[in-house]
Chains A and B, each alone.
Chain A
Amino acid sequence: MAEGFRLRVRYGKTGRLRHLSHLEVIRACERSVRRAGLPYSVTQGFSPKIKAAFGPALPVGTAGEREYYDVWLTSYVPARTVLERLAGASPAGLAPQAVSYAGGREPSLSAALTVARYRVLVASPATWPEEFGKVLAGVVGSGTLAVEHKGKTKVFDLARSLPEEPRVGSEDGFLVVEITTRIGQEGSLRPEALVHEALSSSPKPGSLIAVTRTDLLVEAGKEWLRPME
């Protein structure tokens, strides 16, 4: 039992806390674990660190509805107790939602989670989901998307990056764009890049209001599964 008990936590990154960076989220979650008084494992060595591993990073500004991290415990604590204690020790915007034990040999979250679903909210003077859907389909049909980031241009192969066709709907006067992307080793397509591209080639103006990652999934053959229920 050198590894300890591997506990998986699902949590949200919501409200104003969507403006936190990945590192800030990690530190905040680790501090919640300490505050909760859980018997967490620490790494070996001269300056031990809490043993935890996080799912794929969310950028500053993007909210997350179902995010995950694993933390190792030195002794077994019932999942319900863990959830209660964590809930009482977490900032509201990073509240834990569910906890379960994971197998010690399962691949890491960052290796396993390869599909992400997003919801992008766009404000536009007119709602025109069908029209915008066509514009978006046109962008996807073009096959590639060049994205500039920190002075470098990266070209995404959209057939690979988008395992599903984006869907456009409307809600409360906003356009709601649902985008599923593949998370790659070589950098992942950010959904807002796709929406920006569509907006720039669309006949009507619109502006991006909010981006939320709604799901993170594991590809198991033809199926996509959640890393815990």
Chain B
Amino acid sequence: MATPAADVSAGAESLLPLVERPARYVDGEWGARHRPEASYRTALLYPDTYELGMANQALAILYDRLNAIDGVAAERVFVPWKDMAAEMRASSTPLFTLESMQPVRDCALVGVTLPYELTYTNVLEALDLAGIPLRSADRAEADPLVVGGGPCAFDPEPMAPFFDAILVGEGEEAVVEIVAAHRAAIEARANREETLRRLAGVPGVYVPSLYAEAPDGGMRPLGGGPAVVEKRVLRDLGAFRPPTCPVVPFMDVVHDRATIEILRGCARGCRFCQAGMVYRPVRERRADDIVRDSLAALACGGYEEVSLTSLSSSDHSLIEDVVRRLSRRLEGTDVTVSLPSLRVDAFGLTLARLLKGKRPGLTLAPEAGTQRLRDVINKNVTGEDLLGAVRAAFEAGWRRVKLYFMIGLPTETDEDVAGIGRLVGEVLAAAREATPADQRGSVRVGVSVSTFVPKAHTPFQWDAQLTLPEVLRRQKILRDAMPRKGVELSWHDASASFLEGALARGDRKVADVIERTWRSGAVFDAWTEEFSLDRWLAAFEEEGVDPVVLAGPRDAKAPLPWSHISSGVSPAFLKLERERAERAVATPDCTFEECTGCGVCPSLGVENAIAGGSRG
């Protein structure tokens, strides 16, 4: 394992003049870690291009954590763009890590983050370029361990055969344990099978080869792994400092700025939202720590902006205090503080005024067009709240807001769809009214409409996704109901959402479809111009798997393909929430009011941590 192999760096380097955006492959950034002395080498793969992957926080955290271990090196790998991949294949250059420009296949472990379903073919592309057998079952003793993790680990089956192990939940502690277990196995000269059994003993680690499909639709343990794999979660987020000396890219990447995660988890309880269910409980970082780490990251990175990130940053109980303190410290410099998005409400406006630099965009996510449907999804906001906030924003000088909606939510009727258009019309009218007459021409309302995709581990995990023709029919209703002037309407690609739905609740058979689709040329499916639904449909057909069934309703009494994976939220709570949805009954946020019994805290021995003592 990890024997130094043929040097590929000269060959790899000679390809750089031949490809577009060579900065994707050059390494040498400030903050990149070079640890040639390490005996245990890992490659951290983000399954998309450099400019997307470098924005990924999980990757930055694990890079930091692993490189802090004695004798361990973690190096970055991204999926080469098509031009580079073609040059690599033509010159027999295997996929290499950026830092040492050495083959990925010579690493002891390849860690792969799975951020969203449309990156699945990219994982296969990367493994293939690396010369690593795609399937765990086909790997030999000398091949690296391929370990997955990230959001898609909560429904791992579609990708399970390609992984030796998959970590469910948060990685800060678990990656250290995985590496320790693997090093001990190497030390003990354990073979691959034995190594995987040892890995299955690390809490949160799912080893797919120790499970098989059961006739009832669930997964059956074959021995060696727990019946249910419980997610890993940090009890005390504050005990883990976010990376304050991150790698600073040369390229203009997505989110090119210092990033400090200020809280994890969200308990608002939107019933469609997977992140809101699987990252519980809510853990806020302390204000002092956030200020300290933000300033440290700016000093070490030299960035012109620090972003305070989370699923919902303005929910942090001390956010106003934090933003005030940071703004004061950065007064008179060219460095700014930002929040990923600001909600349009009174508090959002207060925060927006504190942020210097360009006026931040205001966003609003009513998600549904009628009060009834907003109650169904537990989006606890009324039309009056929205309009009041919009008025306040435009009175305060904003000329643009962005609204997010979904179509295809459970119980949606044509009336709900048309309601989106009506609500946008009201927002527009309120915005115009609050704007001086001579500036009304510049009022814009951005409207982004996506298709609802039911996700595993949410109350809507048993619900059906709209069929494609039905999506198109509802899109037409929406278009007809939507005011034209002053509205910038954008749609999420309906066919990509359809595929996302089939993959998001897929079972192990879907792996064959993914592999077949990749073999037929699919890669970079998340890039609209590269995506072809037909290629996927052909593969589904040839493998005899029906995507419409996968995206269809599920039997609430039968096990699901992800029932052996637990986020800590109990299935009983999800069922109860589904019933409440049916009755359009709200469930409050447990960080504002009392516990609503989702089960995470008692089952994982954790609790909400609110920095300011209380919220609201």
Contact = CB atoms under 8 A, between A and B. Distances in A.
A16 B22 CA distance: 9
Contact of A60 (B22, B298, B357): B22
Nearest to B251: A24
B301 interface: yes
Contacts of B29: 91
B23 A21 contact: yes
Contacts of B304: 30-31, 34, 50
Given A24-B23, A61-B17, A91 B28 contact: yes
A42 B334 CA distance: 6
Nearest to A16: B26
B176 interface: no
Interface string A12-27: 0001110111011101
A89 interface: yes
Interface in B159-184: none
Interface in B277-336: 298-304, 332-336
A204 interface: no
Q: Interface residues of A toward B: which range?
A: 20 to 34
Contact of B250 (A27, A34, A46, A89): A27
Contacts of A61: 16-17, 22
A77 to B, nearest CB: 17
B13 interface: yes
A68 to B, nearest CB: 19
Contacts of B22: 19, 60-61
B334 A35 contact: no
Nearest to A49: B334
Contacts of A43: 334
A92 B248 contact: no
Contacts of A48: 333-334
A31 B332 CA distance: 17
A199 interface: no
B28 A33 contact: no
Interface in A80-115: 89-93
Contacts of A34: 298, 302-304, 335
A89 B302 CA distance: 9
Contact of A28 (B13, B27, B250, B333): B250
Interface in B17-52: 17, 22-23, 25-30
A31 B246 CA distance: 13
A27 B298 CA distance: 15
A39 to B, nearest CB: 10
Nearest to A36: B302
Contacts of A47: 334, 336, 357-358
A32 B358 CA distance: 23
B250 A20 contact: yes
Contacts of B302: 30-35, 89
Interface residues of B, number: 29
A170 B81 CA distance: 36
Interface in B221-260: 248, 250-252
A49 B13 CA distance: 35
A143 interface: no
A87 to B, nearest CB: 13
Q: Which of B16, B250, B332, B358 has the most CB of A within 10 A?
A: B250
A184 interface: no
A43 B333 CA distance: 10
A37 interface: yes
Interface in B323-360: 332-336, 357-358
A91 B247 CA distance: 11
Nearest to A92: B28
Interface in A167-225: none
Given A27-B250, A91-B28, A92-B28, A19 B299 contact: no
A177 to B, nearest CB: 17
A50 B465 CA distance: 50
Given A16-B13, A93-B28, A42 B23 contact: no
Given A15-B28, A42-B333, A92-B28, A31 B23 contact: no
Contacts of A27: 250, 252
B403 to A, nearest CB: 26
A118 B335 CA distance: 37
A19 B23 contact: yes
Contacts of B250: 17, 20, 24-25, 27-28
A19 B15 CA distance: 11
B610 to A, nearest CB: 34
A83 B11 CA distance: 35
Contacts of B251: 24
A19 B303 contact: no
Interface string B496-512: 00000000000000000
A91 B249 CA distance: 11
A15 B9 CA distance: 13
Interface string A49-81: 110000000001100000000000000000000
A46 B30 CA distance: 29
A31 B302 CA distance: 4
Nearest to B101: A16
A50 B334 contact: yes
A91 B30 contact: yes
A52 to B, nearest CB: 11
A42 B302 CA distance: 15
B141 to A, nearest CB: 34
A25 B304 CA distance: 15
Contact of A35 (B16, B26, B299, B332): B299
B28 A16 contact: yes
B300 A35 contact: yes
Contacts of B300: 35
Given A23-B252, A28-B250, A37-B299, A16 B333 contact: no
28 contacts: A15-B28, A16-B27, A17-B250, A19-B23, A19-B25, A19-B26, A20-B23, A20-B26, A24-B252, A28-B30, A28-B250, A30-B302, A31-B302, A34-B298, A34-B302, A34-B335, A35-B30, A35-B299, A35-B302, A37-B299, A46-B358, A48-B333, A49-B334, A60-B22, A89-B30, A89-B302, A91-B28, A91-B30
Interface of B: 13, 16-17, 22-23, 25-30, 248, 250-252, 298-304, 332-336, 357-358
Given A28-B250, A35-B299, A61-B17, 5 more contacts: A24-B251, A27-B250, A47-B357, A49-B334, A50-B334
Closest 5 CB pairs of A and B: A31-B302, A35-B302, A19-B22, A34-B302, A16-B26
Interface of A: 15-17, 19-21, 23-25, 27-28, 30-35, 37, 42-43, 46-50, 60-61, 89-93
